[in-house]
């Protein structure tokens, strides 16, 4: 790794750590939404971008992770609308929620190992409708239409909530400020693990399955096993993203985990760049931040109405914009925003490097003509 790359990473890390000390709650919440989306996008990029398996049911596994965390960590509640819970320590509940999402992916993995392309996409689409039915009707676990409150994470004595009060460098640290650092740790760990997978032997096998499935089988790669395994891994990434999004929302609502969320994740990896961890993160931040920005500045933007006032809402405007971005990228930028950034970096590097002038070789004196022996 070059010194320039290391320096850039250090500057980026320092900026990310300093964010909670300077930005207000709106930007922290938007950034946390983007972090959770980036974790889920890395997972589906391993499945779709690196292995070539289309999945339309990613939102289902986010819901499994979010609701499993709530159920494992909540106290049981009686009354007319009884709610179950195991009251486990929240770190253990989060870990079990990720494992539960992986188990759900494992149950579906035999189908994922045998189907590919549009067939797998249609099969995973059924998970969305099954998941919505369960979320709305399994009220003792999910809370039904109203959802459930999310217990705050408590790790090493630190509660990721507004109370008890915490002040760092004369800056009050509430739930968003504390969750910011948790999100950074989770996103960094998820990105590094996925990067290691893609750069190692499993990543080469996944890319071979995507590009030349028959050749992969001839080379001894167990295609069905790899497809099933990557599907489970992608489901666990989605479960982790679901846990983080539940902690940020502080309430799980079934309507959020619908078909549009799965389409958003597909748009993230297409816009950011298929098969790349950095591309998934870039696409996730683009898709997640765009509705927030449009909502924040809707009064100053033409053709965008404030939420609830009629007209084109910020969410609808965001989908129109990144739908157009998907079309443009598919037609003209197959590498996504990451590929565009790399091209721009190469172009700037060429301009910064002065053209090497051709070397001027000194003229050697021509040898004196030898005397003619005939004279």
pLDDT one-digit tens code per residue, 165-174: 888 878 888 8
CB within 8 Å of 98: residues ≥ 6 apart: 65, 236, 239, 240, 243
Cα–Cα distances in angstroms (integers) from residue 209 to residues 42, 48, 53, 112, 192, in the given order: 18, 11, 10, 14, 22
Read off the pLDDT of residues 40-56 as tens digits, 9 standing for 90 and up: 999 999 999 999 999 99
Task: Tell me what the mean pLDDT of segment 334-361 comes to.
Answer: 71
Give the residue, 184 or 172, on which the prediction is more confident.
Answer: 184
Read off the pLDDT of residues 7-38 as tens digits, 9 standing for 90 and up: 878 888 888 889 888 888 889 999 999 999 99
pLDDT exceeding 90 applies to what percent of the chain?
52
Residue 365 reports pLDDT greater than 60: no
Confidence of residue 2 (pLDDT cuts 50, 70, 90): low
Confidence of residue 193 (pLDDT cuts 50, 70, 90): very high
Would strands 167-168 and 171-172 be described as parallel, antiparallel, or unpaired? Answer: antiparallel
Task: Tell me what the mean pLDDT of segment 252-262 comes to.
Answer: 92
Q: Could you identify the residue written with the tokens 């990557």?
A: 230
Cα–Cα distances in angstroms (integers) from residue 110 to residues 51, 205, 217, 229, 352, in the given order: 16, 19, 18, 10, 53
Residue 374 reports pLDDT greater than 60: no
Give the residue, 316 or 134, on which the prediction is more confident.
Answer: 134
Give the residue, 217 or 313, on which the prediction is more confident.
Answer: 217
Mean pLDDT of the chain: 86
Task: Tell me what the mean pLDDT of segment 282-311 comes to.
Answer: 79
Residue 345 reports pLDDT greater than 80: no
Decide if 74 contacts 142 (C-beta within 8 A). Answer: no
Other CB atoms closer than 10 Å to residue 239's CB: what's the count?
31
Three-state DSSP class for residue 77: strand
Confidence of residue 367 (pLDDT cuts 50, 70, 90): low
| pLDDT for the residue numbered 199 | 93
pLDDT exceeding 70 applies to what percent of the chain?
91
Read off the pLDDT of residues 107-119 as tens digits, 9 standing for 90 and up: 998 888 888 888 8
Decide if 66 contacts 131 (C-beta within 8 A). Answer: no
> 217 exposed, middle or buried (CB, 10 Å; 0-12, 13-18, 19+)?
middle
Confidence of residue 373 (pLDDT cuts 50, 70, 90): very low
Q: List residues bridging with 149 in a β-sheet.
A: 251
Read off the pLDDT of residues 313-327 as tens digits, 9 standing for 90 and up: 777 888 888 888 888
Task: Tell me what the mean pLDDT of segment 188-207 comes to.
Answer: 94
Residue 177 reports pLDDT greater than 50: yes
Q: Which helix (H) or strand (E) holds 224?
A: helix 223-249
Task: Tell me what the mean pLDDT of segment 223-247 comes to.
Answer: 95
Helix, strand, coil % over all residues of the chain, rounded to 5:
70, 5, 25
Confidence of residue 307 (pLDDT cuts 50, 70, 90): low
Is pTM, for the whole model, over 0.75?
yes
Residue 104 reports pLDDT greater than 90: yes
Residue 162 reports pLDDT greater than 90: no
Lowest mean pLDDT among 74-88, 125-139, 202-216, 232-246: 74-88
């Amino acid at each position: 790794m070059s010194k320039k790359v290391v320096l850039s990473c250090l500057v980026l890390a320092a900026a990310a750590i300093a964010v909670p000390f300077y930005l207000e709650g709106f930007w922290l919440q938007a950034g946390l939404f983007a972090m959770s989306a980036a974790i889920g996008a890395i997972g589906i990029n391993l499945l779709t971008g690196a292995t070539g398996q289309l999945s339309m049911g990613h939102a289902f596994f986010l819901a499994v992770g979010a609701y499993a965390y709530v159920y494992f960590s909540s106290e049981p509640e009686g009354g007319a609308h009884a709610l179950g819970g195991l009251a486990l320590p929240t770190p253990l509940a989060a870990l079990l929620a990720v494992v539960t999402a992986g188990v759900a992916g494992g149950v579906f993995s035999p189908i994922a190992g045998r189907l590919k392309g549009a067939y797998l996409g249609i099969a995973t689409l059924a998970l969305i409708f099954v998941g919505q039915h369960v979320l709305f009707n399994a009220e003792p676990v999910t809370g039904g239409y109203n959802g459930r409150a999310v217990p705050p994470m408590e790790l090493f004595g630190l509660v990721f909530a507004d109370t008890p009060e915490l002040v760092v460098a004369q800056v009050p640290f509430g739930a968003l400020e504390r969750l910011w650092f948790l999100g950074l740790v989770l996103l960094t760990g998820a990105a590094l693990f996925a990067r290691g997978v893609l750069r190692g032997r499993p990543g080469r096998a996944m890319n071979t399955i995507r590009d030349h499935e028959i050749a992969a089988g001839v080379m001894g790669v167990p295609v069905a096993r790899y497809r099933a395994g990557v599907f489970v891994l992608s489901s666990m990434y989605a479960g982790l993203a679901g846990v983080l999004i539940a902690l940020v929302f502080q309430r799980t609502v079934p309507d959020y985990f619908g078909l549009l969320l799965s389409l958003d994740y597909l748009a993230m990896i297409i816009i950011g760049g298929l098969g790349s961890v950095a591309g998934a993160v870039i696409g996730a931040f683009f898709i997640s931040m765009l509705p927030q920005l449009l909502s924040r500045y809707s009064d100053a933007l033409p053709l965008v109405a404030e939420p609830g006032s009629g007209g084109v809402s910020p969410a609808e405007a965001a989908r129109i914009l990144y739908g157009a971005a998907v079309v443009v990228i598919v037609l003209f930028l197959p590498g996504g925003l990451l590929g565009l950034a790399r091209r721009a970096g190469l172009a700037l590097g060429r301009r910064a490097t002065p053209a090497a002038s051709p070397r001027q070789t000194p003229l050697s004196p021509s040898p004196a003509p030898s005397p003619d022996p005939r004279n």
